[in-house]
Amino acid sequence: MNKILVSSALALGATVGGFTLISSQVVAEDQQQAAVVAPAQPAHDFITVETSSITGNVVLGGSVQPAQTVNMSAQMPGDVMFIAGEEGDSFKKGDRLVSLDTAALLAKRRQAVTQYNSAVAGYRNAIVQYNREVQSPNSQANSMMGGAPSMFSMFSDPFRDFTGEGDTSVERQSNLYQYNVGVQTALNQVEQARAAIAELDENLINAVSYAPFDGVILKKMVEKGDIVQPGMPLVTFADITKLEIRVEVPTNLLRMIRQGDKIEARLDGAEQLTPVIVSRIYPSADAAGHTTTVEFSMANSSQARSGMYAEVMIPDPSKKGTTSPIVPETAILWRGSLPAVYKIDDTGAIKLRLIRIGERTADGKIVVISGIRAGDKILAEPGAGIRSGS
């Protein structure tokens, strides 16, 4: 009996030992699988927002654009037969830039000219017939039967007037009016034919696009041989000798500037500031962005290029002498003309925050007017693959 008990105990111990060994193997395998499945968390460098004293300028981003720009469109359908040059080629005022095929228009004009000549001949004939009726009444009837109807009318007309069965004076006026209507109708046909010729001449003029001022071709949308329809864009022509900076200014900052004010701007990549003048403030604001378009003319645009990014520094006396958050330029990314940073919240999630930037400090950092506060953690160099909420 003791042997049986000992054997049972040994068997139970082996079973427990085997269970323990199997459990250890399962845990080890689970840990291995978890290590393989769990994705590697990307490591992002972050910085803590510091503060610095500012001089009271709000920096707004914009773009350099020509002061005069014309988007030329097709005024009529046709094939493109001629293009003066490529992007960047300069032309004088009145030079031909684009022309369409005018063979069909010239054929229609020749047809309209023949219709005009026929209308003129009909008008002249109507005048002759009217004058004949004035000078020789009933001449067509009198030419029949050797003038017999005229001899009979010498006796019949007074009798008809006496009996009231007719009125020769009324009939006379009716005949004259009928011939006069014929003259007017023929004249209307002449004017209609003349208008058709004028319309075709205008289409022939519209088939050719001329340079409205001295400038260059900024963009070419068609090539020789393309078929265009009315309204299709052809080329963009601009005067690049006079450039301006166009900026979307928040509505609450419009009180800081007036037309004619002189402020400073910085071109993309340039350290030296450029003086600009407020040349135009648009009368209406954008309802979605609550901004107003403002144009700043450049006194010296020799270093600027059309489409270049630029920053305009609008003075804000209320901010002068105060401290504001500062961030390195590498932490700022642009959504169109709006600057933004990626902020790390208390849970570790990354959130996109639009900010309003100000001046540049001596060590190259950017002053943030609003959007983040001192002590916030932001990504130092946000990459292209980062998304808000990650």
Evaluate if residue 241 carries a pLDDT over 80: yes
DSSP-derived pairing of the beta strands 227-228 and 78-83? antiparallel
pLDDT at position 233? 93
Last residue of a domain, one of 174, 206, 238: 206
Burial of 243 (0-12, 13-18, 19+ CB in 10 A): buried
pLDDT of residue 11: 40
Among residues 348, 358, 356, the alpha carbon closest in space to that of 379 is found at 348
Q: Could you tell me which residues are beta bridge partners of residue 208?
A: 99
Q: Of 239, 243, 269, 115, whose CA–CA distance to 186 is shortest?
A: 115
Q: Which residues in 51-84 are b (16+ Cβ under 10 Å) and which e?
A: eeebebbbbbbbebbbbbebebebbbebebeebb
Structure-model confidence comparison of residues 307 and 84, the more confident one: 84
- pLDDT for the residue numbered 147: 47
- Same domain? For 167 and 137 the reply is yes
Residue 106 token pair:
């010239």
Indicate whether 90 belongs to any domain.
no
Q: What pLDDT score was predicted for residue 222?
A: 92
Output 162 or 258, whichever has higher pLDDT: 258
pLDDT computed for residue 56 by the predictor: 65
> C-alpha angle 301/59/316, rounded to 5°?
115
148 alpha-carbon distance from chain centroid: 80
CA distance 346 to 376: 10
216 domain-assigned: no
On whether the CB atoms of residues 189 and 119 are closer than 8 A, the answer is yes
Same domain, 161 and 194: yes
Average pLDDT over residues 346-373: 81
Q: Which of 113-117, 167-171, 283-287 has the lowest mean pLDDT?
A: 167-171
Same domain, residue pair 109 and 197: yes
Q: Are 13 and 108 within one domain? A: no
Q: Looking at the structure, tell me whether residues 28 and 51 fall in a common domain.
A: no
Give me the pLDDT at residue 158, please: 60
Residue 241 falls inside a structural domain: no
Q: Measured between alpha carbons, how far is 256 from 298 in angstroms, rounded to an integer? A: 19
pLDDT the model gives residue 4: 37
Is there a domain that residue 267 lies in?
Answer: no
Answer whether residue 214 is part of any domain.
Answer: no
The per-residue pLDDT for 70 is 92
The pLDDT value recorded for residue 240 is 87
52 and 123 inside one domain? no
> Does residue 125 share a domain with residue 52?
no
How many domains, the chain? 3
Structure confidence at residue 329 (pLDDT):
85
CA count, 13 A, side-chain hemisphere, 301: 23
Tell whether pTM > 0.85: no
Side chain identity, residue 45: D
What is the average per-residue pLDDT within 160-166? 57
Specify whether the CB–CB gap between 358 and 319 falls below 8 A.
yes
Query: Binning pLDDT at 50, 70 and 90, where does residue 8 land?
Result: very low
The answer to which of 76-80, 276-280, 326-330, 381-385 has the lowest mean pLDDT is 381-385
More confident position, 58 or 78: 78
Clarify whether residues 4 and 29 are in a common domain: yes
Question: Does residue 140 sit in helix, strand or coil?
Answer: helix
Q: Which residue, 191, 206, 221, sits at the end of a domain?
A: 206
Contact by Cβ (8 Å): 230, 75: yes
What is the average pLDDT across 188-202? 94
**In the predicted structure, residue 2 carries a pLDDT above the cut 50:** no
**Together in a domain, 52 and 6:** no
Arithmetic mean of pLDDT over the chain: 79
Bigger pLDDT: 24 vs 340: 340
Question: Looking at the structure, do residues 114 and 196 belong to the same domain, yes or no?
Answer: yes
Q: Does 347 reside within a domain?
A: yes
The pLDDT value recorded for residue 353 is 87
Q: Is the pLDDT of residue 23 over 90?
A: no
Domain termination residue (choose one: 206, 238, 259): 206
The answer as to whether 107 is a domain residue is yes
Whether the predicted pLDDT of 235 surpasses 70: yes
Q: For residue 80, what are the β-bridge partners?
A: 100
Domain containing residue 153: 102-206
pLDDT, average across residues 238-261: 88
Beta bridge partners of 174: none
Percent of the chain clearing pLDDT 70 (strictly above): 76
Please report the pLDDT score of residue 129 as a whole number. Answer: 87
Residue 353 DSSP SS3: strand
> CA gyration radius for the chain?
45
Long-range contacts of 102-109 (CB under 8 A, 24+ apart): 102/78, 102/204, 102/207, 104/78, 105/76, 105/200, 105/203, 105/204, 105/207, 106/204, 108/200, 109/197, 109/200, 109/201, 109/204
DSSP states of 189-248 as a string? HHHHHHHHHHHHHHHHHHTEEE-SSSEEEEEE---TT-EE-TT-EEEEEEEEEEEEEEEE
**Under DSSP, is residue 381 helix (H, G, I), strand (E, B) or coil?**
coil
Q: Are 151 and 92 within 8 A, CB to CB?
A: no
Residue 346 belongs to some domain of the structure? yes
On the question of pLDDT at 185 being above 90, the answer is yes
Does one domain contain both 141 and 173? Answer: yes
